[in-house]
Amino acid sequence: MYNVIFYIFEIGVFVASFFNEKVRKMWKGERASFRYLKEHVDPNADYAWFHAASLGEFEQGRPIMEEFRKVYPEKKILLTFFSPSGYEVRKNYELADLVCYLPIDTPTNAIRFLRTVRPSVAFFIKYEFWYNYMHILRHRGVPVYSVSSIFRPDQVFFRWYGKTYAHVLKCFTHFFVQNEESKRLLASIGITNVDVTGDTRFDRVATIANQSKNIPAVATFVKNNPQKVFVAGSSWLPDEQIFLPYLAQHPEWKIIIAPHVIAENHIEMIMQLLKGRRVMRYSQLQVGDHAKLAEAEVLIIDCFGLLSSIYKYGTVAYVGGGFGVSIHNLPEAAVWNIPVIFGPNNHKFQEAQELKACQGGFEITSAEDFALIMNRFSADKQALKAASDAAGNYVRSQSGATERLLQLLRESKKE
């Protein structure tokens, strides 16, 4: 049944590729993977395979790849992605020897892929449990590790109808999970090769913070009012329709928006919602714009690659996606000791629940909720400081997952 579903899925992806640019990139990328590997795989090399579905999973796996490279410099690294949002951004990742899409999980694709690469070890980040790849890796005797994985009771593995598919979990050599609940759930179906190591993404955001860039244009923008700077990262239109009407009426706040989509029509919608505020766009800044930039009220970051460093200029952050499919990277903002606001679709994210619990993160469901929080932060400096400290302390308390994982991995190899 699984393979039938995936053959149908493959046909569906092909049809959708005619109508959706993102799907088209994925389809073409997967078709090109075998040619790419045939041309670039070194038949004499020893490959460690890391797979991340998308960019978020890559950021979780990146600390492991970087430390793995230091510990095992003799191995080459193959990095694969399922989604264009990961591959297109990280296809030139300097620490990987090969980067490509992972072909859809059919038996034929999995056999061909693994015959070509012949990895000696594989790491799957967070949610990746591909049935055919897993079983063939086990058949070949390749150690397979699930890292930064997290499990919930509503997942298929723990439902009566998912017992057959749950066998895929027995293909893993070891699970390095984020929390005790995940360990308990796995134990309930007989999976005991599990250690709780935490979420490696916290190590990544700590590294990013330590290596952050100074952005002169942003520093100029905030210098006249550094105490009230609102930064919105990875926002979508449903997010912006919540927070921009409030901010449009509160000129005491400097606003930096780094939207998830930087298409021209989306930027125009943002500017319409901010009608009456002095807006500048990062991509259009000129050499002599310092004075205008300092007096501007809104700065739109209409390019990629700056957000993680921009958060450090903020007083309050909003992380988008919570009024859509799911929220984006909360620790990336919280690491800078600033409270984080986000939408209601966050229940699958442990960091969101823990930030709410420690009062460093705040869920909103409406414009009224947002106004209440912002009014409180505007009027009560102590409340703002307490929330800021709580956010930063939470991220720092979660670091160290990468070292714990690698230490356990080293110990298992000695046995």
pLDDT confidence of residue 160? 85
Give the count of beta carbons closer than 10 Å to the beta carbon of residue 226: 12
- Please tell me the predicted confidence (pLDDT) of residue 14: 52
Mean pLDDT by 10 residues, the chain (415 residues): 58 60 63 89 96 89 91 94 84 94 90 96 90 94 94 91 88 95 96 94 90 92 92 96 94 95 92 90 89 93 91 97 91 97 94 97 98 97 97 94 86 62
How much is the pLDDT for 8? 60
Say what the pLDDT of residue 241 is: 96
In Å, what is the CA distance from 242 to each residue of 109, 253, 343, 353?
A: 44, 16, 10, 21
Name the 3-class secondary structure at 5: helix
Tokens of 95: 């620490």
Read off the amino acid at residue 205.
V
DSSP states along 126-155? TT---HHHHHHHHHTT--EEEEEE---TTS
| pLDDT value for 20 | 67
- Close Cβ partners of 349 (under 8 Å, ≥ 6 residues apart): 326, 327, 330
Gap between the Cα atoms of 17 and 28, Å rounded: 9
Q: What's the full length of the chain, in residues?
A: 415
For residue 285, what are its two tokens?
Answer: 């800044």
Cα distances (angstroms) measured from residue 385 to each of 110, 364, 369, 393: 52, 20, 20, 12
Model pLDDT, residue 380? 96
Rounded Cα–Cα distance for residues 103 and 31 (Å): 7
What is residue 163's predicted lDDT score, i.e. its pLDDT? 84
Q: What is the pLDDT of residue 106?
A: 87
| Helix, coil or strand: residue 94 | coil
Q: CB count, 10 Å around CB of 366?
A: 11
What's the pLDDT at 5? 57
Phi-psi region of 61 (alpha: psi -120 to 50; beta: other; left: phi over 0): alpha
State the alpha helices, DSSP H only, in 197-323. 201-210, 216-222, 237-248, 264-273, 290-295, 307-310
